[in-house]
Amino acid sequence: MKKLKLFTTILAAAFVFILSACGTSKTSGGDGDKDKTLRVVTDAAYAPFEYQDKGEVVGFDIDFINAVAKQAGYKVKVEHVGWDPLFVEIKGKTADIGISAITINDKRKQTYDFSVPYFLSTNKIMIPKDSPIKSAEDLKDKVVAVQNGTTGQEAVEKLLGAESKNLKKFKDNNLAIMELKGGGADAVVADNTVIEEYVKNNPKENFVIIEDEAAFDKEFYGLLFPKGSKLKADFDKAVKEVMENGEYAKIYKKWFKVDPDLTEVKAKQK
């Protein structure tokens, strides 16, 4: 009788254990199982890092995460979910990795884990050629369009005040640029590479980019993981490896036509 009781107790414990295991492994492969395909989420409205081309998600980040995952021995599938949903999914562990030109910062680090940095960026100002704006200071009495929930929004809030009616926030950065084009804003503040590429590729629209190093910090992009993700160690290693073995340079050259200068990014990885 005693034995039977012990047996049922063990059985019950095993059952609870299996149940809880099911409950925590909500994602496809975040448990480190390399046979499962990892769910990678992005906001594909941020060319050239991630955007949609004939229904396909493409960009520097997409090639990069594919190379890194391959190096680490994982299969990945990238899906466009949007900027705010991306963070919700990583927090809720319905996705394994976020890649979206995401700046590593202390605020986000409270809720998420980041990989080592892989890209250097800074916010810059996009304005019409004939604009009187010369610096970040000049934005103070102007209407500025940003993507909601980005470091660009934070930077502009510091200048205009968080409650300012002159700060227009959009769900994605393309909508912010459209607002500028339509005359509803005097400037867009966003990651330099994105607005520099836009201006270069749309010369007839007569926009220019201005830099203000005093107002806008250096930023570094990282892969976003749920807090405590087991994937971080493997992906950190793989990020460094693709930077050493020429894969990163190949992808960088494909998108930016020049060789990368990785000095600052590598220094920041230490």
The residue ranges that bind ligand ARG (CB under 6 A) are: 43, 45-46, 50, 83, 100-103, 121, 147, 150-151, 173, 191
- Per-residue tokens: 26: 């909500």
Q: How far is the CB of 161 from ligand ARG (least distance, A)?
A: 19
Q: Is 100 helix (H, G, I), strand (E, B) or coil?
A: coil
Choose between 71 and 192: whose C-beta lies nearer to ligand ARG.
192
CB of 205 to ligand ARG, least distance (A): 20
- C-beta of residue 250 within 8 angstroms of C-beta of residue 134: no
Task: Kindly report the backbone phi and psi dihedral angles of residue 183, in degrees, each rounded to the nearest multiple of 5, phi listed first.
Answer: 90, 5
Please say whether the beta carbons of 216 and 123 come within 8 A: yes
Smallest separation (angstroms) from ligand ARG to the CB of 102: 5
Q: State how far the Cα of 111 lies from the Cα of 234, in Å rounded to an integer.
A: 20
- Nearer to ligand ARG by Cβ, of 174 and 269: the residue is 174
What type of residue is 70?
A: K
Nearer to ligand ARG, 222 or 226 (CB): 222
Tell which residue, 126, 169, 119, has the closest CA to residue 145: 169
Q: Which is nearer to ligand ARG, 60 or 74 (CB)?
A: 60
Inter-residue contact 254 to 162 (CB < 8 Å): no
State the maximum Cα–Cα separation within the chain, in Å, rounded to a whole number: 90
Nearer to ligand ARG, 192 or 229 (CB): 192
Least separation in angstroms between residue 152's CB and ligand ARG is 6
Q: Which is nearer to ligand ARG, 51 or 234 (CB)?
A: 51
43: nearest Cα among 3, 74, 88: 88
DSSP state of 16: H
Comparison of 94 and 105: residue with beta carbon closer to ligand ARG: 105
CB of 191 to ligand ARG, least distance (A): 5
Closest separation in Å from C-beta 193 to ligand ARG? 10
94: its two tokens: 């319905």
d(CA 18, CA 255): 46
* Preceding omega of 203 cis (within 30 degrees of 0): no
Minimum distance from residue 4 beta carbon to ligand ARG (Å):
59
- Is residue 191 a contact partner of residue 73, using CB atoms and an 8 Å limit? no
Smaller CB distance to ligand ARG: residue 71 or 103?
103
Least distance (Å) between residue 164 CB and ligand ARG: 19
What pairing do the DSSP bridges indicate for beta strands 224-226 and 112-114?
antiparallel
